[in-house]
Chain A
Amino acid sequence: MIQAENVTMKFDDFVALNQLNCSIPDGCVYGLVGSNGAGKSTFLRLISGVYRPAEGKIEIDGHAVYENPDVKKQIVYIPDELYFLPQASMNRMAKLYAAVYETFSYERFTHLTQTFGLNPTVNINTVSKGMKRQAATILALAAQPRYLYFDETFDGLDPVMRNLVKNVIYNDVVERKATAIISSHSLRELEDTCDQLALLHKGGIIFESDIQNLKTSLFKVQVAFSDTYGKERFDGFEMLDYTQKGSVATFIARGDRDAFREKLEDMRPLLLDILPLSLEEVFLYEMEALGYAFKDVL
């Protein structure tokens, strides 16, 4: 389990992370979402041991990450800007990874290379950005670490490859009980991949939740009554947003969907429709509930 406590990271006068706290359980796909400069890459570098936090501590299973090879050998970090040795092929890079990571599997490397249809003898620096991303992903997965950190990994991938990458990551998590942390500035990228999601803003996690909970805990309600009514009719309901046009009221509600439906049906409405929300809509309303304007955050 990755634990960050009161982590602060500064670059000269700029505070990249400020008193950040989070806890990432093992065996999940954890999404980090936030706008540019929110601190996603900084956080990934901190939990991969590239940076030492200015304040606070970062631990994996109770052990500090920075300058701790025993912990770092369980981690592979794929940064936004990839690194390959000059003139290196994937085979050459595989040798480097094998030298660095004891758990590196050539068998898995070969399997993944074939799955992605990449030629391991070609100079990586001559291939497209998307293929470089695939190559980096293959190398990371072949190293078979417990923790995989992907920084903006889906950038530059076409939809087919994006799905393939998501699948292999997901399989890795399921089969090996690995933990994957994926950062992205696009919520849609993470919606169908992550188990948990954290929203970073100005160096802090302002919202963190299980995606399934998020998706089911908020829902949109459209309801109409024959008589004249107002918002007060729904007192006792937990609502995040309420609008009414004539006899039709629309609001976002939080709570148990079935219980909600039952209570509303007891009020004998002319019309009742309970709709699921997209993850983006959930975030929109959750952020607003927390006092953030979502458009400023993402």
Chain B
Amino acid sequence: MKTIFDRKLYLVGLKKIKLVGIICGILLIVCNALVPVASLVSGMMNGGNDEATLTASNYAVASPLLLLLVPMFFLSMFSFLNHRNESDFYHSIPFKRTCILGSFTAAIFTWVFGILFASLLLNGVLYAADPAIHFSLLIPLQLFAFFAFVSLYVGSFVLLAMTLTGTTVSNCAVSLILFFFVRIISAITIEMVESLVPILDVAYSPLRFMSTRYWLPAATFRIYYDLSVFRDVSLWVYSAVVLVALYALSVWCFCRRKSESAGKSAVNRGLQHAFRCAFTLPLALLTVFGVMEGAGAAFAVVMILVTLMFYYLYELVTVKKLRQTLLSTPFLLVPALCCALIVGGCYLTRGAVLEQSFTADQIESVRFYNHRDFWGVFDTTYTYELTKTDGISVSDPEANEIIANALDDNIRMVRTNDFNQYYVDHYYVDSRNQYVEIQLKSGRKVRRQLRIPQTDINRVEKLRQASDAYREVFLQLPSDGEINSITFGDQDILTSEGDQNRNIRDLWNTFVAEYEALSDEEKLAYKNQYALYRTGYFDVDGLTAELYFNVSGTLYDSYGSSPFETRYFIPSEFERTRSLYAEYTQPVRDEVRQVIQNFVDGKYDTLFDGSDKPTTSFFNFSGNGLWNGVAIYPSEYYENESYRSSGMNGTANAAPDVLVTNAQNDPEAGKEFFRMLLPYLTDTPEDNSYLYFWFSVVDDGTGRHYNTIFGLSGDMPDELKNALDGNWYDVPDASVYPYK
């Protein structure tokens, strides 16, 4: 054990970075505690917070700060690698170098993990102080595991940089180079390749691991929103391999490192040249890329000057000797040569890709697959059906012929540089970018991004959908194991009766049971018509937008996780589901109807009590204040986006508060004041029934009076129309969301 760890040396390490640990600890813990403290204070000032269940985004939001703090620990602990006398001391003490490295690294991560744990624990305690907040211990534990791993990951880069250099400046510079160099170079290279060969899908090229999705630091932005990042096996395997490799390399370098390297910019001149050239190469490559893309001579000149400046600046700052800086001039050839090699490689790739065209006879099968956003931090989301059928190919001569021809057309376009022009001219008209995997009879697989006429795409899709394999998968609904969350289109109204989540789950289970009872043809019809991606609002066969499940979850394949999200509408054929919905929402609808009736009966004469304030009793029912329940929108806020947002996310009391404020400030007589939506007036939820109230303030010289005008839209019950006795206006163009 003394070979890699010694308890006494570990304690020495803990003390050595005590100051950094305390400062960083206070910084992180305080930053992380701000959110729960603010929540707690806000709750105390407002008479208590609303009931809420915490998600990952509530916890330790400042934890990514840890990524900046971890290098501080390493710089402090291994500072002896930068100072000769200190270096001699630690190299002379009776411990193996692996033991020094292991014990000190363990000390660093004791501090880091301790601080992280303390901040998460404090968050938990602070949240627990608020009785309205429910939290699960699992989430902070998951976050702890995640950030602990990320800390190890970041630390590996810094440690390697420190073993290769001998001054603080070069420590930092090389850490940044190691951390970003490969990604920057590959990013520019990929851009070059995509520019030269737009039909190549780099997301599946050997450079795939340079995708942002495989970069752990980027995942820190995902973790708060998507805990499924834990199930992204490829991300973890890739990161673990990088981490282990870097630590292994660090150990090797540390053990071979000479004590006299302390104080030098790099442990040897070769590495100094390499770091300087690596520091410069991205700029040089950008210059070349810019010129390739048609940037002018001015751009080239400026970029060359900037590149030279960075080149010499790096040497001057790290070595601090002008003569040596000037002597490094001949090595400028290295970045130039690297640029030439990379550009040459890109052109070779272009040549190779454009040579690959196939006849229909050579093709075994084709499939359209979902595009992966190479640079996106978050995964691209498709519907469950698209995600599930992603792997289904079609083996048909007609489809093979279409794709073979499309590939030929695309290659020709690339060769003649017509590709982008075609995109501009025809993209929205008759074709679209389609990602196609071509399985050749030889066993090879080729992935291409092709511009294909929409009619051809439809033909291939039709052939694909005709296959049993496709249909079997397409007709499935997401299983419980695949679902992360189910929300209901108008779930707020379900809140009023019992547990919302339980009600939604009951509705979903009923829906699934009804769906499974359908024949395959009926299922197919349903899926084609009612299973949709969340793009805007829907008006399907007059169905109100509120009646749908929003189902999201994650599927996994060799590439990693694939999030999905689908809206499943509940058409009238699903009688049991609708009936259950009506049952759950009946109390709210009863309340709403009562409100209407009260209006009709003139019971709201005291809607305003003379003080420009609405009576609170009017608003005190379950559905009130919800943006698509019963809402009151002061006209001043009518087009105000921020209000709309707050209304959408607001609590039941938000709207009256706003209204009161606004009523007090209402300036002009005769101006439209506010209106309200009152849906769910009937027992049949599909009815598009809305009652609008316009209240206007009239000042007739004797005082301020409030006029009320009623407006109706949709199929209002005759009894209501009669009760209003003609005092209403038809609102023929009112949509489900009339404020839009």
Query: Which residues of A are at the interface with B, using a C-beta cutoff of 8 A?
Result: 11, 45, 48-51, 67, 69-73, 75, 77, 79, 81-83, 85, 96, 99-101
Contact = CB atoms under 8 A, between A and B. Distances in A.
B2 interface: yes
A51 B91 CA distance: 8
A100 B88 contact: no
15 contacts: A49-B91, A49-B92, A51-B259, A67-B96, A69-B95, A69-B99, A71-B94, A72-B92, A72-B93, A72-B94, A72-B95, A75-B94, A79-B88, A79-B89, A100-B8
A48 B2 CA distance: 19
A79 B260 contact: no
A73 B2 CA distance: 13
Nearest to B7: A99
B523 interface: no
A94 to B, nearest CB: 12
Given A69-B96, A100-B9, A83 B89 contact: yes
For the complex of A and B, 10 pairs with smallest distance between CB atoms: A73-B94, A72-B94, A81-B85, A83-B89, A99-B8, A69-B94, A83-B85, A50-B91, A77-B92, A48-B92
Interface in B577-633: none
B8 A45 contact: no
A51 B16 contact: no
B254 to A, nearest CB: 12
Contacts, number: 59
B23 to A, nearest CB: 14
B77 to A, nearest CB: 12
A180 to B, nearest CB: 16
A200 to B, nearest CB: 18
Interface centre among B89, B99, B258 (most CB of A within 10 A): B89
A169 B259 CA distance: 27
Nearest to B98: A67
Contacts of B83: 83
A67 B100 CA distance: 11
Nearest to A102: B94
B86 interface: yes
B12 interface: yes
Contacts of B12: 96, 99-100
Given A67-B96, A72-B94, A99 B11 contact: yes
Nearest to B97: A67
Interface in B70-91: 83-86, 88-89, 91
A39 to B, nearest CB: 14
B88 A50 contact: yes
Contacts of B89: 79, 83
Contacts of B255: 67
A45 B85 contact: no
Given A51-B258, A69-B2, A99-B12, A45 B94 contact: no
A73 B96 CA distance: 11
Contacts of A73: 94
A223 B94 CA distance: 58
A79 B83 CA distance: 13
Contacts of B99: 69
A290 B96 CA distance: 42
Contacts of A83: 83, 85-86, 88-89
Given A72-B95, A83-B83, A101-B93, 18 more contacts: A45-B92, A49-B91, A50-B92, A50-B259, A51-B259, A51-B260, A69-B95, A75-B92, A79-B89, A81-B85, A82-B85, A83-B85, A83-B86, A96-B12, A99-B8, A100-B8, A100-B94, A101-B94
A99 to B, nearest CB: 4
A86 to B, nearest CB: 8
A77 B88 contact: yes
Contacts of B88: 45, 50, 77, 79, 81, 83
A45 B96 CA distance: 16
B94 A81 contact: no
A83 B92 CA distance: 12
Nearest to A80: B85
A83 B88 CA distance: 9
Contacts of A99: 8-9, 11-12
A85 B13 CA distance: 11
Interface string B35-58: 000000000000000000000000
Contacts of B2: 69
B166 to A, nearest CB: 14
Interface string B92-129: 11111101000000000000000000000000000000
A100 B2 CA distance: 13
Contact of A45 (B9, B11, B95, B259): B259
Contacts of A45: 88, 92, 259
Nearest to A67: B96
Interface centre among B84, B258, B260 (most CB of A within 10 A): B260
Contacts of B259: 45, 50-51
A85 B95 CA distance: 18
A112 to B, nearest CB: 20
A45 B262 CA distance: 14
Given A69-B2, A99-B12, A100-B9, A11 B94 contact: no
A125 B86 CA distance: 14
